[in-house]
Chains A and B, each alone.
Chain A
């Protein structure tokens, strides 16, 4: 059975995949269905939802199209989530592998750095980095990744340490394989699967962190994000609560999709063992 059919067979996997596929579709279609800047004024301010067919979800305090904002917001959330998670996994895998193979002082030093990143609350770290370097999408991505790479690094190192002792690695050494080749061809491919299973959890956390950052006004000011839409709607929370509720629901659905997908994924990676 192929990887994907196994993933789709569990209800969680199927449901998660449907949500994620729909989101990707929305993100891809956003610039086609709503061309132009979603931050531009599209109609009268504070138009209630379902009252004008041209602006199905109404407008916000500045007359911006809410539906266009939501769809373009999906782009930002998915981009930040996926890019930050990839960066964190790559950085973590590299540091973890280096620490696991080098051992001794280098291992000790690298792991203390990992500890340091685990001790500082990752949201405070992201807040500090973005405020110091300036709010733009790449900076937000890097700041979130820097707060998230410690877990994959720790896991990669543990994996490398256990696999290094296996018999087939010893056999590779005996036949005279170069240590670097052993590291890259024999150990790393076997060490990575559990680390990759962390990806989706990091994607979910990154999406939530980005939302919180832009809610506090530390997101990229030139891009629509769900977090900034919630912050904007908060100003009229008494009269138009919908404006802050809708983007929040979008966030919840996205993160649920990612979690369901990750649950199914880790079950498949664990070898399709029966449900405990």
Chain B
């Protein structure tokens, strides 16, 4: 426990400068944009006179120098204030928090699907390296990995929603259905089947490949030879000795993939019209909503850091060697 806490503290401290770099970079990026939020707002209301422009710029702090504005932004962030969304005319944090649960539901289900199915198929493939099953699964995973997620989503819509009419084409739930409790959960689940499959199947391939590669490595270890010489059954060797040791790197992949999954959700949510975090990013781009876009990038960076911290802790619990040196120091 102490070991995990020390590891956590060290990782958390080292991620602070990284987060600062992210904030400064996003700030500079949006500084270089031609036109600001006020210009975008004027376009949306059909123009305005110079006095209005002046007062708007003043109220958003856009008439200050760059260093002042960066400082203003930093101090606001320390108070968990991510700024004011121009396109939605609401605080950014509230908007993001409102959309985040949908995305977490989508990503969580997709991760669970790809992790479970991917590691299972990886065990099947790695049980007998170079067998027909292994070759088939390896080529299949390569094929899956090459499919763009948004296109897979569209194909699933064409097959299961347009042609077979089994599942809804888009949205997170039936609008104004008045469903409550379990019926509502079932409705959301039905809407999530296609997007979760589209997102999950792509990443399934990655888990399969890492699991298989880990098993191929483990087969060559001495303890596997020992287990064989003891006369253990093949199934027991595969599950208790080989697969168990190969499972560990998958936890790392889980952390590394969180950033890619968050990025992938932008397109998937746009294909399925799910009002989530990713779709919010697209809406921010369309509305030239700089504060919102910045908030989204910062929140996603924080989430990725958080997921990786959780993965580090899980790793420390699963593998007693990790972080042992820090606990001893």
Contact = CB atoms under 8 A, between A and B. Distances in A.
Interface of A: 112-113, 115-116, 118-125, 127-129, 131-134, 204, 208, 211-212, 215-216, 218, 227, 230, 234, 237-238, 241, 244-245, 248, 251-252, 255-256, 259-260, 263, 275-276
Given A132-B29, A212-B266, 12 more contacts: A112-B17, A112-B21, A119-B304, A119-B305, A120-B297, A124-B263, A124-B297, A212-B148, A215-B148, A227-B148, A244-B158, A245-B158
A134 B18 CA distance: 27
Given A238-B162, A248-B151, A255-B146, A118 B17 contact: no
B189 interface: no
Contacts of A227: 148
B92 interface: no
Interface in B211-258: 216-217, 220
Contacts of B129: 276
B96 to A, nearest CB: 13
Interface string B137-175: 000001101111111001101100010000000000000
B216 A237 contact: no
B270 interface: yes
A127 B285 CA distance: 8
Contacts of B142: 256, 259-260, 263
A215 B150 contact: yes
Interface string B260-301: 101110110010000000000110010010000100110011
Contacts of A237: 154, 157-158, 162
A113 B259 CA distance: 16
B146 to A, nearest CB: 4
Given A113-B21, A124-B300, A132 B266 contact: no
Nearest to A242: B158
Contacts of A216: 266-267, 270, 282, 285
A208 B158 CA distance: 21
Q: Which 4 residue pairs spanning A and B have beta carbons closest together?
A: A123-B263, A121-B263, A248-B151, A255-B146
Residue picked from B33, B146, B155, B259, most chain A C-beta under 10 Å: B146
Q: Is the contact region of chain B dominated by helix, strand, or loop, or is it mixed? A: helix
A129 B32 CA distance: 10
A275 B130 contact: yes
Contacts of B300: 120-121, 124
A138 to B, nearest CB: 15
Contacts of B25: 116
B22 A234 contact: no
B285 A256 contact: no
A19 B241 CA distance: 40
Given A124-B262, A131-B285, A245-B155, A259 B30 contact: no
B26 interface: yes
Given A248-B151, A248-B155, A133 B146 contact: no
A120 B270 CA distance: 20
Contacts of B304: 119-121
Contact of B266 (A124, A244, A248, A251): A124
Contact of B259 (A122, A134, A260): A122
Given A120-B22, A131-B285, A252-B147, A125 B297 contact: yes
Contact of A123 (B147, B155, B266): B266
A215 B305 CA distance: 29
21 contacts: A112-B21, A116-B19, A119-B19, A120-B301, A122-B259, A123-B264, A123-B267, A124-B297, A127-B281, A127-B285, A131-B288, A132-B30, A133-B33, A212-B148, A216-B285, A241-B158, A244-B154, A245-B155, A248-B148, A248-B155, A255-B146
Contacts, number: 138
A129 B155 CA distance: 29
A116 B281 contact: no
Contact of B296 (A124, A132, A234): A124
Contacts of B146: 204, 251-252, 255-256, 259
B280 to A, nearest CB: 11
Contacts of A116: 18-19, 21-22, 25, 301
Nearest to A230: B151
Contacts of A127: 266, 281-282, 285
A247 B158 CA distance: 15
A131 B304 CA distance: 23
A129 B22 contact: no
B154 A248 contact: yes
A34 B145 CA distance: 32
Nearest to B162: A238
A251 B151 CA distance: 9
Contacts of B270: 216
Nearest to B267: A212
Contacts of B15: 115, 119
B31 to A, nearest CB: 9
B273 to A, nearest CB: 12
Given A238-B162, A259-B142, A275-B130, A212 B150 contact: yes
Contacts of A124: 262-263, 266, 281, 296-297, 300
A212 B278 CA distance: 13
B141 to A, nearest CB: 10
Nearest to A239: B162
Contacts of B264: 123
A215 B220 CA distance: 45
